[in-house]
Amino acid sequence: MSDTLVADVAPGTDTAVPGATGARQFWRRLRTRRAALAAAAVVALLVLVALAAPLLTALEGQDPTTYHPSLIDSARGGVPVGPLGGIDARHWLGVEPQTGRDLFARLAYGARVSLGVALAATVVQVAIGVTVGVASALGSRWVDQLLSRITDIIVAMPLMIMALALLAVVPAGFPRPVLVTLVIGLIGWGNIAKIVRAQTLTLKGLDHVAAARLSGWGTWRIARRELLPGLAAPVITYSALLVPMNISVEAALSFLGVGVKPPTPSWGQMLTSADVWYQAAPQYLLLPAGALFVTVLALTVLGDGIRTALDPRTASRLRVGTRRTETPAAGTDKGVRA
């Protein structure tokens, strides 16, 4: 009974009609957005580096925690010995000032922490947000009011301040990446719950949902079979935009000293140690900052591409790398391709 994931737009109207092959239509639209495809390739490469970090560092012959005192110049305050921060055949990106730890190994393992925390926190946010949003829309008026007020409180909470407070009081023995994941996930689900609630209320009025209700289906069977497929597009879209936001939050928490603790590397933690080395050893600051910038940018562009591919009626906010077909003028056979 339910519609497919992606709907087409009827010619000459603004009305969406169900597509016969939703997934195929989605991939066809996404392929026309070259910027999104390039961003997807960058994200895939970053994920591959994060997953293969042990293999890559073994190939280099280094690890992220071993100190190399012989590779730093103590007379100059701990600046790496050699050109470009100590880059050579054994240390592909040079070494860390004062400690001599390998920068490539720390960046690769830092990607595992930053991407892993962001993705896991997004899963927690989506799970809670979808559950609360659907329950609020399908529940009684009392349940809806209660869950909506709780959601409003969560949305009104300043994420960074609450995260700083919670992370500061938790015992140091608790695994820090898991703690950061839980804190970000448990505080940041409010907006997706609001989106899901509003979309569920809209879907409740559609004919196929009414037909399922008249057929005697229960509330949760209708939610599972009829509503959740219709919620897939907005949930996927918002989730794609949540990941770069969570990466930035994790980096900010680590930069402020309440995130992942040494010796576990993360990009935000590396920035914390690098802020005094931007003149003596600029690569120590530029490498993690560049990795964060590229990751957040690629995920944002990919999220925008997914959003516009799932909803063809919504124009992309990013014009670079997209091909737009204009509506044919009267009396012509072909549209002008921009």
pLDDT of residue 166: 82
234: cis peptide before it, omega within 30°? no
pLDDT of residue 266: 87
pLDDT of residue 160: 82
How many Å apart are CA 129 and CA 195, to the nearest integer? Answer: 9
Is residue 84 pLDDT above 60, yes or no? yes
pLDDT of residue 22: 67
**Model confidence over 256-283: pLDDT tens digits?**
877 888 788 888 888 887 777 777 778 8
How many Å apart are CA 196 and CA 48, to the nearest integer? Answer: 32
**Model confidence over 149-186: pLDDT tens digits?**
999 999 988 888 888 888 878 887 788 889 899 999 99
Mean pLDDT of 284-299: 90
How many Å apart are CA 71 and CA 94, to the nearest integer? Answer: 10
pLDDT of residue 128: 96
Mean pLDDT of 127-155: 93
Q: DSSP letters along 6-68, please? A: SEEEPTTSS-EEE-SSHHHHHHHHHHTBHHHHHHHHHHHHHHHHHHTHHHHHHHHT--SS---
Is residue 5 pLDDT above 60, yes or no? no
pLDDT of residue 315: 52
Confidence of residue 20 (pLDDT cuts 50, 70, 90): very low
**Model confidence over 45-71: pLDDT tens digits?**
999 999 999 999 999 999 998 898 888
